[in-house]
Structures are given as structure tokens and as C-alpha cells.
Amino acid sequence: MSKGVEKEVYQFKRTLLEDRLSQCTEKQKSFFKKIFPDGVPESRLMAAIDLCDRTIRKNIENPERLKEDV
């Protein structure tokens, strides 16, 4: 894969992660930052996106989770 394409894929993953985190509650974001205190390294981007996806899915399945932040 060319360097240009690698950079695009990397940026796309970062954008996906940012979007997913914006859908999490503040409490969930704080927990995420405890897991990745120094930010998410490139090697762990997909795992971080997956973690957010699972959290969002659980929030949808149980909307009461969203009230815990209030």
C-alpha cells in the first residue's frame, strides 16, 4: 500500500474513532481515557473503534445507561 493510501486509511480510522466517541456519554469517555491514557496508538485504533461500537450498541439496547451520566 502506498504511503498516501496508508495516510488516508489512518486518518479515516481517526475520524471514525472521533465520531464514535462523540456518541458516548461523558462518563463513558472518561473510562475510555483511562484505558488509553496517552491516546490511542495506531496499532490499537481498530480495537478502540470496536470498544466504542459495543458501547454505543449497549446504549441503544438499554437507554437507561444514558441517564447514568445525569
pLDDT attached to residue 32: 98
How many domains does the chain divide into? 1
Domain range spanning residue 15?
3-67
**CA distance to 1, 5, 6, 7, 10, per residue, from 29 (Å):** 33, 30, 27, 26, 21
pLDDT at 39 > cutoff 80: yes
- The secondary structure of residue 57, as a DSSP letter, is H
Q: Is the pTM of this model over 0.85?
A: yes
Neighbours of 13 (CB within 10 A): 16
Asked whether 56 and 23 are in contact (CB, 8 A), the reply is: yes
